[in-house]
Amino acid sequence: MPVDDATTANAIRRQEERLQRDPTSLAFAQLADLYRKIGRTRDAITLCREGLERYPHYTTARLILAKALLAEDDFDQALAELSAILAVSPNDLQCHRLAAEIQRRQGRLDVAVDHLEAAVRLDAGDRESRALLGLLRAGASAGNEAGGLGRVLADDTFVTASFGRACLEQSLADEAAQVFGRILRKEPGNSEARQGLEQALRLRLRRKG
């Protein structure tokens, strides 16, 4: 959500003035991140790309660029930037988390799981990544679950978008996530299942909050 307050406006003005005084300053990254946070994502992208032409190894700016591209739903370009960072910094925790989100939103759950596993290895206290990892793994192994609903989910008859929506209507976020996750493993391009999974995860977050 865009932020618009006096503190942010003053910070933007200071960085803009700094960059005007020295166009080669690394301040472009800080300014781009401030632009991104207030919703000026196109300006953030332009600023990062111009700065990275001068400083191609500045990974902080590349990560800010990836976040701005994600805000524009430019998943492929965002992943390209993250891949460039991970090629030289394979233990970059933020990159793994962001890459997991993008891959999940594109329906590539197995790749998302790989990034979440890396995030958990790097930060054992990352409870959100661990919880997401558990959900996405559960969608791949529902047949091993005990309990009535677990047995229902193990039956491919019920692995349908309509059953997933029924789970959402009953506020069964985890179960809906498993249903949509299983659909996506078979059909990564299924837009309804991608939307259903994201809705289930948002419902889960609201319930936790």
Report d(CA 64, CA 180) in Å as an integer: 30
Average pLDDT for 98-112: 95
The answer, yes or no, to whether residue 141 has pLDDT greater than 90, is no
Q: How far is CA 91 from CA 28, 70, 183, in A?
A: 25, 21, 31
Report d(CA 62, CA 67) in Å as an integer: 9
The answer, yes or no, to whether residue 4 has pLDDT greater than 60, is no
Band (pLDDT 50/70/90 cuts) for residue 11 is very high
pLDDT at position 146: 44
Tell me the pTM: 0.83
The answer, yes or no, to whether residue 13 has pLDDT greater than 80, is yes
Instruction: Spell out the domain ranges in the chain.
Output: 1-85
User: CATH number of 1-85: 3.30.565.10, 1.25.40.10, 1.10.3720.10, 3.40.50.170?
Assistant: 1.25.40.10
Q: Which of 109-113, 156-160, 170-174 has the lowest mean pLDDT?
A: 156-160
Tokens 């524009």: give the residue.
Answer: 72
